[in-house]
Each structure stands twice: as C-alpha cells, then as structure tokens.
Amino acid sequence: MAQARGNTRQRIQSVALELFAEQGYEKTSLREIAERLDVTKAALYYHFKTKEDILIGIFQDLTAPMDELIAWAGRQPRTLETKQEILRRYQVNLIAAAPLFRFMQDNHAVVSKLSVGLTFKERMLTLNDLIQEPGSSLTDKARCISAIFTLHAGTFFMANVEGDPEDKRKAVLEVALDLVEQAQKGH
Amino acid sequence: MAQARGNTRQRIQSVALELFAEQGYEKTSLREIAERLDVTKAALYYHFKTKEDILIGIFQDLTAPMDELIAWAGRQPRTLETKQEILRRYQVNLIAAAPLFRFMQDNHAVVSKLSVGLTFKERMLTLNDLIQEPGSSLTDKARCISAIFTLHAGTFFMANVEGDPEDKRKAVLEVALDLVEQAQKGH
Amino acid sequence: MAQARGNTRQRIQSVALELFAEQGYEKTSLREIAERLDVTKAALYYHFKTKEDILIGIFQDLTAPMDELIAWAGRQPRTLETKQEILRRYQVNLIAAAPLFRFMQDNHAVVSKLSVGLTFKERMLTLNDLIQEPGSSLTDKARCISAIFTLHAGTFFMANVEGDPEDKRKAVLEVALDLVEQAQKGH
Amino acid sequence: MAQARGNTRQRIQSVALELFAEQGYEKTSLREIAERLDVTKAALYYHFKTKEDILIGIFQDLTAPMDELIAWAGRQPRTLETKQEILRRYQVNLIAAAPLFRFMQDNHAVVSKLSVGLTFKERMLTLNDLIQEPGSSLTDKARCISAIFTLHAGTFFMANVEGDPEDKRKAVLEVALDLVEQAQKGH
DNA sequence: GATGAATGAGGCTTCATTCAT
DNA sequence: CATGAATGAAGCCTCATTCAT
C-alpha cells in the first residue's frame, strides 16, 4: 500500500508532468492526476493552491539547472570554446528534463501565458545572446538560433531515425557545434 | 446584420484558426468562435459536425500545397539543386500557412491525436527522406533534420531579432541550404 | 432516384412509426427521420406542422379501424358470441397495426400526454365496457381486462415461444375467448 | 437548508424513479431531478457517473426481491401449489415496486437497451419457465403468459375500475391463479 | 494529511423549429 | 415541393475549486 511517506508533493508533480507532457495541460484534469495517484482531488489542494501551481512547481524545480547554466555562462569569456560548452551543457539539461521540454514544446500557447513561461522565453533569448556575436550578420544570427533548435529538434525528432541513442545525441551535438563555429568564423 | 453570404464556412475556419493559434485548441471554446462571428454556436454545427471537424477542415485546406510539393519532389532527380529547391518551396509554404504551422508547433499534443496529425507527421518524414542521402552518416542525417527545423524555427523565432523580415527570411533559408549542402558533401 | 412521387407524406409516417417503435418517440429525432428518407428536415415541415403532428397523423390513420370496430360492436346485441367476435376482430386490428401498438405499449408516458392518446385510452375502456356485463363480480371484470391484455401480450411476447406464428395466434385467441366465456358464465 | 445528511444518493434514486415513472426516462432531465432535490446537477454526478447509472442503480435495488423469488422458486417442487405461490409472491413484488414496474412498462424501448434491461427480460422468461409445464400445448403456454400479464395489467389498469383496492388485487390474483390451474389440468 | 460532498461555470452537442429562396 | 442556413433552448457532462470534518 503506502508509498514512502511524505513525498506526496513530489509524486504529484511527477505524475502531473507525465500527463501534461502526454496529453497537454488543458486536456489533463485534476481528477486524472488524483486517480493515477489513488488519492482524492481534494488532497491535491492540500499540497497546491491551484492547478497552475502544480505546473509552476514543476517549472521551478526543473529549470533551476538552466539558470545555473546561464549564470555560469555569463561569467565566462566569450570564446568559441565557451559557446560550444554552453551547447554541450544545454543538451545535457535538455535530456535530463526531457518531459518538461517536450511539454513546453507541445503547449507553447499555455506556457506562454504563465508568468513562469515568460521567464522561460527570456531565458532562451538570454542563452541565444550568449552564443551570438553582437554585430554579426543576419545569416550568422540565424545559425545561432538554428544551433539551439537543432538541439531541441534533435532530441525529440531523431527518434524516428535508426541508430544508437548515444550516437544520435553526439551527431546532433556535432551539427550544433558546427553551426556556431561557422557563425563565429563568419564574424 | 447580414455579413456577406455563403462564406460562413470559410469565415468559421478562418476565425477558428486564428483563435486556435493564439490560445491553443483546447483553450478555445466554440462559444468564443461563435461570438467573434456574431453567430450562434448551433450555426457552427450546421457547417461542421464537431469541434475537431473544424480543425480537420483547416488542415485539409492548408496542407494541400505541401502534398503537391511532395508529389513534385518525388518526380525530380535527387540532386543537390533539387533538394535546395525543395527547401525554398517549403519555406514559401511555411510562410503562406503561417498560422497553421504556428498552431501545430504549439499544440503538438492535440494535433498528434488527430488522424490528420498522423498524416502530417508522415508528410514531414517523407520530406525529410527526400532530402537525405540513403547511406549518409548520422551527423549528415542530423544536418538534414536541422535544415527543416531551421526553416520552422527561423520563420517563427527570428521575430525576436531585429531586421527586415525579407532579409531575415533569406538569412534563414541560406542557413538551411548550407546545411543540406554540407550533408551532401559529407556523403 | 425518385421514389414514386407525391407519397412523401406517407413515407414520412411510415419511417417515423418504424423509428418511434424501435427507439421511442423522444429518442427519435427529426434529423434521423429526414436522413432515412434522404430529405431535409425542412421538408418534413412542409408536410407536418410539428413533430407531434407526425405522430398524430399516424394515430389517426391507424386507429380508424378500431373506431369502426367500436361502432360496429355498439350496434350488436350483447351476447357472448358478439363479445368473442369483438376479440377476434380486435386481434386482427392488433396484428395489422402491430408497430403502432408496439409503440404505444413502449411509450405510454408520451402517448398519454397526447390528445390523441387520451382518446385512445378511452377507446380501450369503451371496448372493455362492451365486453363486460354491468353488474359482474370484480373477478369477472378482471377476467375481461385480462382477455384484452392477453391479446396484447400474446401478440408481442409469444415471440419468445417456439411454434408456428399462426398457431400461436390461435392459441392466444383461444385463451382470451375462454376468459370472457368464464366471465359470462360467472354472471 | 441541510436536509438529513448522507442519504443524498438514495434521495436521488427516489426522486428520479418518481419522475422517470411519471414522464418517461428520456423526457426527464437531470436539471429537473436536481431542482426537485434542491441540489446542483453537478451533485448528481458526484453520486452517479451518468444518467443511465441512476437508472441502473434503481434497477439493481428494486429487482433484488425478484431474484430471490426466482431462486426460491427454483428450489421448490414443480407442483400446482408452488406455481400459484409464485404468482402470489410475484404480485407482492409488483405492488411493492410499483413505480419501477410502471416505469418499465412505459419505457420498454429505453429499458431494453440497458444491460440491466436484458437481464430483466431474462428474469421474466425464467419466471415463465417455472410456471409452465415443459410439454404443454401452445394454448396452455399462452395461459401461463397470460397469467403473468394479468398480474401486471391488473395492478396498473384496474385503477379504472371501481372497488376496494384490496378486493381488486384479490380478484386479479384469482384470475391469474385460475389460468395456471387450467394450464396444469390441460396437461 | 486527507476525504466526502457539493458548487458554479462552462464545455460540446443535439434538438425542434423557422424562414427566405 | 423542398432546401440551406440559422436560431434559442436545452441536453448531458466535466472541470477547477471549496470547505467542514
């Protein structure tokens, strides 16, 4: 019976993220979450004030690493090597918080209305800024944006390509690294 | 009173797409669509059997050009120039049906449960196949996927970058063309 | 294409009765009737003012024979033979208008609120009066009611009993005739 | 405000049966039931998953005695006295659950589509089997069916006959008992 | 920590009906 | 004779949320 005690809050977040990622935020009801946990809806309200609060909690927990990444990046010299290291670390984040990112990709409309969501978009732009060279050409700017999205797309859409997951991860990373290198050279 | 006659069906689709793109499919209610058209909810049901049917109608209308593109591509020789032309035409499609694609990007969870959605994913994979070289390396495969997503991301996320829209479009296209060229060379 | 012309009114009644009998009056929608006839709902309104009017029309057409039966019965001497002849003829009516009676049996609640329905109940009571002897015992009164209901039940529930339909019909009739005979003797 | 607590579920069933019997199942809306209980529609859904579930609940509660009757009958020797006792007990059931049976008689179309409804028809046939002699004539079979329906009809249609209810009940029962006796003799 | 009972708002859908053409 | 388009009312149902216990 009793799952380890006192972790209900985390169990809620975990099940919620799973369902949000799978079905979307709007489509997922508290009843569903409660049922999957074998708990009453009212119990959810003991731990979170609203449905959105559950989402916010998930965000805060899972985006912390990204904030650290940004903070760290801000302290480094703006060399090519730094930029590439940013991409490497970003890909690690992406994979670690895969369900969250999948969810964000699929529920952009909802997320963007969250206060947390805005913060997130800003974070992505910040990241992008750290990779770009201030006065670079539009083409090189597009390369940088493309590099970030290659990591995203690669993580979620290479699923349809055959091959060892680890090899695919490396291939995707390589393409992204190439793109910033070209952007840097163009400069 | 009387808005131009006989075009109600199309007006519904147009307003619906607008709202779906803006707020997401689940979040948009038929009441909202009806109100914005100054029509009763029941009127929507005269033209479409269900809410999902509205979406399906939009899809069918707006993805037709992509089918033509795929058909055309299938008849061409698989040269680098062909592949690049595919990307050029794909970008045109993307821009023409911008709200639809924005919607699909933001409502992946919903769309993927639509029969039309499946068809769409298949179409993207088909397109990807037409760009790739059969025996290429994983890295080059990633480059091709990246090229397609660069067009997507570029079309919707370059909005945050300063510059003339047409110039930005060209810059994004250039990056995508580069990527398939590199993939081709690698081969 | 064109079914024989000009009979649309009757085709509506026929299809409607079929559906009413099968699904009940409330559960059957005009859309359904229209679709089954390959006609628009609006067309139904050309022939009938309301949904209830369709039902009323059916009643009037199909209960006419019963009115004749009652009229005829009123003119006969009140002998046992007359009473039995009434039952014989009633069974014929019952079988001829089987779907109507099935419908009435299954939708009593609806029918009883129809003006036509009231008339119908009165008709049944009138029939019952013609079979009963004024001062008979309660038991004999029950026998007469039972006789009528035996014909009804028999027509619709002997379906679950094996045997030639015609033989079953005769068996049921025999029981009903017996019952009035006993009622008569008791007197 | 506060009606006696904790009995809401039963109050719903009771009011629902009343309305179903009076107006028919389809014609009765959940709004009506809720209003009569001074409760929200949503409250109904806390206690029952669907409208049909309310009906199913009523059935299960009210048809239990009939199951017991059938079980008891199965254990008795198949004498005339047993059969008559079955009819006596059946009439008691009929009167005790009068609204349910009235409802079933008037909403056959709806009920027969319920899984519970099927069960019910089977129960009636089982009862009929317990009363009949295996190899009897069609006429005697009709007599047995007639006996059961006499109880039904009698209970609900003798209302239009003058007399003390208890006396009428006895009269109806007598007719039914007679019928099985004749069927038995015929054998 | 959690439940049982309930609510108010709102969702999608269907219906009978109307009317200009 | 019949249709196409639309309406207003109402249906069933689900949701996020609350609160006394």
Question: In chain D, which residues from 33 to 72 place their CB closer than 7 Å to nucleic acid strand E?
Answer: 39-43, 45-47
User: Between A110, A145, A167, which is nearest B157 by CB?
Assistant: A145
* Separation of B94 CA and F16 C1' (Å): 38
The 10s digit of each residue's pLDDT in B100-143 is: 888 887 777 778 777 676 567 778 888 889 999 888 999 999 99
Chain C residues whose beta carbon lies within 8 Å of the beta carbon of residue D143: 175
Rounded to the nearest integer, the mean pLDDT of chain D is 88
**Residue C63 or D55, more confident:** D55
Supply C158's token pair.
């002997």
Mean pLDDT of D8-19: 94
Question: Concatenated DSSP letters for D52-96?
Answer: HHHHHHHHHHHHHHHHHHHHHHHHS---HHHHHHHHHHHHHHHHH
pLDDT at residue D100 greater than cutoff 90? no
D24/C107 CB distance under 8 A: yes
Mean pLDDT of B73-96: 94
Segment 109-168 of chain A within 8 Å of chain B by CB: 109-110, 125, 137-139, 141-143, 145-146, 149-150, 152-154, 157-158, 160-161, 163, 167-168
Q: Where is mean pLDDT largest: B82-96, C50-64, C107-121?
A: B82-96
Residue that the structure tokens 């003991």 belong to: A46
The 10s digit of each residue's pLDDT in B139-180 is: 999 999 999 989 988 877 788 888 899 999 999 999 999 999
Segment 26-65 of chain B within 8 Å of chain A by CB: 26-27
Q: 3-class SS at D41?
A: helix
What is the distance between the alpha carbons of residues A47 and A11, in angstroms, rounded to a whole number?
Answer: 11
User: What pLDDT is attached to residue B117?
Assistant: 62
CA distances from D46 to A43, D12, D36, D37 (A): 17, 11, 17, 14
Q: How confident is the model at residue D117 (pLDDT cuts 50, 70, 90)?
A: low
Q: 3-class SS at A72?
A: helix
The candidate with the shortest Cα–Cα distance to B157, out of B115, B98, B79, is B98
Mean pLDDT of D165-171: 93
* Residue A49: nearest nucleotide (C-alpha to C1'): F17
* Residue B45: nearest nucleotide (C-alpha to C1'): E13
The 10s digit of each residue's pLDDT in B25-46 is: 999 999 999 999 999 999 999 9
Mean pLDDT of D151-167: 84
What is the distance between the alpha carbons of residues B102 and B157, in angstroms, rounded to a whole number?
Answer: 10
Q: Where are the domains of chain A?
A: 1-49, 55-186
User: What pLDDT is attached to residue C1?
Assistant: 40
Determine the topology of domain A1-49 in CATH.
Answer: Arc Repressor Mutant, subunit A (1.10.10)
Chain B residues whose beta carbon lies within 8 Å of the beta carbon of residue A176: 146
What is the distance between the alpha carbons of residues B28 and B131, in angstroms, rounded to a whole number?
Answer: 36
Supply C90's token pair.
């009633």
User: Between C157, C170, C182, which is nearest D145 by CB?
Assistant: C157
State which H helix or E strand residue C109 sits in. helix C108-111
pLDDT at residue D4 greater than cutoff 60? no
* Residue D40: nearest nucleotide (C-alpha to C1'): E7
What residue type is B2 in one-letter code? Answer: A
The candidate with the shortest Cα–Cα distance to B137, out of A174, D141, C70, A8, is A174
User: What pLDDT is attached to residue D2?
Assistant: 39
* Separation of A6 CA and F18 C1' (Å): 24
What is the distance between the alpha carbons of residues A160 and A178, in angstroms, rounded to a whole number?
Answer: 23
Give the Cβ contact number of residue B40 at 10 Å: 12
pLDDT at residue C92 greater than cutoff 80? yes
Radius of gyration, CA atoms only, chain C? 19
Question: In chain A, which residues from 2 to 41 place their CB closer than 7 Å to nucleic acid strand E?
Answer: 5-6, 8, 39-41
User: What pLDDT is attached to residue C174?
Assistant: 96
What residue type is B78 in one-letter code? Answer: R
User: What pLDDT is attached to residue D3?
Assistant: 44
CATH of C55-186, one of 1.10.3470, 1.10.357, 1.10.10, 3.30.70: 1.10.357
Mean pLDDT of C120-140: 86
Per-residue pLDDT of chain A (187 residues; tens, 9 = 90+): 444 446 899 999 999 999 998 888 999 999 999 999 999 999 999 999 999 999 999 988 888 888 899 999 999 999 999 999 999 999 999 888 888 887 887 777 777 777 666 566 678 888 889 999 888 999 999 999 999 989 988 877 787 788 899 999 999 999 999 999 999 987 5
CA distance B68 to chain A (A): 23
Q: How confident is the model at residue D6 (pLDDT cuts 50, 70, 90)?
A: low
The candidate with the shortest Cα–Cα distance to B182, out of B128, B136, B150, is B136
Say whether the CB atom of B49 is under 7 angstroms from strand E: yes
- CB distance from B186 to chain A under 8 Å? no
Rounded to the nearest integer, the mean pLDDT of chain C is 87
Rounded to the nearest integer, the mean pLDDT of chain B is 88
pLDDT at residue C5 greater than cutoff 50? no
Segment 71-90 of chain A within 8 Å of chain B by CB: none
What is the distance between the alpha carbons of residues C63 and C124, in angstroms, rounded to a whole number?
Answer: 11
| Burial D140-163, CB ≥16 within 10 A → b, else e | bbbbbbbbbbbbbbbbbbbeebee
The candidate with the shortest Cα–Cα distance to A105, out of B26, B106, B24, B23, is B106
What is the distance between the alpha carbons of residues D111 and D120, in angstroms, rounded to a whole number?
Answer: 9
pLDDT at residue D43 greater than cutoff 60? yes
Mean pLDDT of C17-27: 90
CA distance B186 to chain A (A): 12
Tell me how far the alpha carbon of residue D179 is from its chain's centroid: 21
D146/C154 CB distance under 8 A: yes
Q: Is residue C104 packed enough to be buried (19+ CB in 10 Å), middle (13-18) or exposed (0-12)?
A: buried
Protein-contacted positions of strand E (CB under 7 Å): 1-20
User: What pLDDT is attached to residue A115?
Assistant: 67
User: What pLDDT is attached to residue B3?
Assistant: 44
User: What pLDDT is attached to residue C117?
Assistant: 60
Q: How confident is the model at residue C2 (pLDDT cuts 50, 70, 90)?
A: very low
User: What pLDDT is attached to residue D10?
Assistant: 94
Q: What is the pTM of this model?
A: 0.83
For testing the chain A interface, which of B29, B52, B106 should be mutated: the one with the most A CBs within 10 Å? B106
User: What pLDDT is attached to residue C4?
Assistant: 43
**Residue C177 or D134, more confident:** C177
Q: In chain C, where do the E strands start and end? A: none
